[in-house]
Structures are given as C-alpha cells and as structure tokens.
C-alpha cells in the first residue's frame, strides 16, 4: 500500500499505538502530522503538533494550520485515549466525564474540524477497543468505546455519500503504557483467547475491525 502524496493526521501519536500508526503511515509514504499533549515525535519524519483533543478551539486552530500548510487531509486516525478502570459503584462523575471527553468527544471534534479538508477517497479510522464489542467491568472506558463505535457508524452514514470512509478498529490487549497497570487476573483473562497467550506489540498487533463504511455492512 502506498500513501504517497497523502496527508495523514494521527492523534495520540507521541507513544504507544499512535506512534506505531504514525510510523507505519510514514513508511507507506504519507506526510504524517501527529497531534498529542506532549509534542514529542516518535520519528524524524513525523511532525507533532500540541493538541488537547477535548478542546474545540484547539481543533479549529489545528484545522486552520493544516489547511495553510498542506491544503488537505486524506486520513485521520483518532487514536488518542485513556483508560479508566473504575467499577459502577466507584466511578466518579469527574472520571466519567474525562474518559468520555477524550475517548468519544475528542474523535467527534476531530472529524468535525477536518472533514471539510477531506476530498473523496479520504479515510477516518477511529481506534476503539474489543471492549466496544463485549462487556467489561471498566465502566467509563467500556462506555466510551461503545460510544465511539456508534459514533463511527453514524458518521459513516453522513460522510459516505461524500466518498469519505469511516471505520472503527477494535484492538485487544496490547503491551503499551496504557495497559502496564492492568491487574494480573484481568490480563490473564483477556489473554486467554490469544493463541500465543501474550499481548502483541503496537506495531504487530492483529486487530479485529468493525467496518462502518456506508458502502459496507456493519459487523
């Protein structure tokens, strides 16, 4: 696959899965613009812009800069996210709101800000989680990923006629900073369905995908 002459934006690109996605897109020939709270590029080919994905005005500024510098956006990967493992009786409203703001509102704001820069043939990929397909005890995280799955489906219906694909990807447990404090019992249970019984690294992760393009079935 070649992404030559394509402008690709990746949020949460400074580390973990986001860094792997950004590097992979650069390897395929794309001009990659990363966005992160910490503007540290994982690769010299990738420019990182500081961005809080929950801030609408920062997204507007980012979109204006992207239009001036590159003129278009051919790909948006909404990868930025946090985990919050509180159970129902423990979750605070502040933690609930913060998790939903980053994991669901952030991707919505990103799509709003950049969709008018995206020509036909462009693609949006929202990084959800296997938690969006099943039930997990992590109440705010699971709810946010189910919301992102629904957002992806709804957005595909609106953007599909414009030739813009919208898909959600559902990774399982991966070896990243986000999963470093997963309790051992939970980790063992999640890895029970993995043939090698070990979490993959971000750059090599096999992922189950939920295709939300308007031209394909929702599975």
List pLDDT tens digits, range 113-124.
Answer: 999 999 999 999
**3-class SS at 33?**
strand
User: Residue 209 — φ and ψ, nearest 5°?
Assistant: -115, 150
Separation between Cα atoms, residue 211 and residue 82, nearest integer Å: 23
| Mean pLDDT across 61-86 | 95
Does the active-site annotation cover 24?
Answer: no
Selection from 98, 123, 140 nearest residue 209 by Cα: 123
CA 83 to chain centre: 13
The position carrying tokens 């402008």 is: 7
Q: Which two tokens mark 185?
A: 């019992």
In order, the DSSP letters of 81-100 are -------TTT--HHHHHHHH
User: What are the two backbone dihedrals, phi and then psi, of residue 39, each rounded to the nearest 5 degrees?
Assistant: -80, 65
d(CA 96, CA 185): 24
Residue 129: which of 205, 41, 19, 20 has the closest Cα? 205
Q: How far apart are CA 108 and CA 101, in angstroms?
A: 10
**169: exposed, middle or buried (Cβ count in 10 Å: 0-12, 13-18, 19+):** buried
Q: What is the pLDDT averaged over residues 190-207?
A: 48
Better-predicted residue by pLDDT, 59 or 136: 59
Give exposure, 132-144, as e/b (b: 16+ Cβ within 10 Å). beeebebbbbbbb
Tokens of 57: 């005005």
Query: Which residue in 141, 164, 170, 172 is the catalytic one?
Result: 141
* Model pLDDT for residues 53-66, shown as the tens digit of each residue: 999 999 999 999 99
Say what the pLDDT of residue 42 is.
87
- For the cut 90, the answer to whether the pLDDT of residue 206 exceeds it is no
């Amino acid at each position: 696959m070649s992404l030559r002459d394509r402008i690709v934006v990746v949020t949460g690109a400074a580390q973990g899965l986001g860094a792997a996605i950004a590097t992979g897109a650069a390897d395929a020939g794309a001009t990659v613009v990363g966005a992160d709270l910490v503007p540290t590029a994982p690769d010299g080919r990738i420019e990182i812009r500081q961005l809080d994905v929950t801030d609408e005005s920062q997204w507007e500024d980012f979109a204006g800069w992207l239009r001036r510098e590159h003129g278009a956006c051919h790909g948006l990967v909404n990868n930025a996210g946090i985990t919050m493992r509180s159970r129902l009786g423990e979750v605070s409203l502040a933690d609930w709101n913060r998790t939903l703001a980053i994991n669901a509102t952030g991707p919505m704001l990103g799509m709003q800000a950049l969709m008018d820069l995206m020509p036909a043939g462009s693609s949006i990929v929202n990084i959800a989680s296997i938690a969006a397909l099943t039930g997990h005890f992590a109440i705010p995280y699971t709810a946010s990923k189910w919301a992102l799955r629904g957002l992806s489906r709804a957005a595909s219906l609106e953007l599909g006629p414009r030739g813009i694909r919208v898909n959600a990807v559902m990774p399982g447990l991966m070896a990243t900073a986000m999963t470093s404090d997963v309790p051992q019992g939970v980790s063992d249970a999640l890895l029970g369905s993995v043939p090698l019984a070990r979490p993959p690294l971000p750059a090599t992760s096999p992922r189950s995908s939920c295709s939300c393009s308007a031209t394909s079935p929702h599975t």
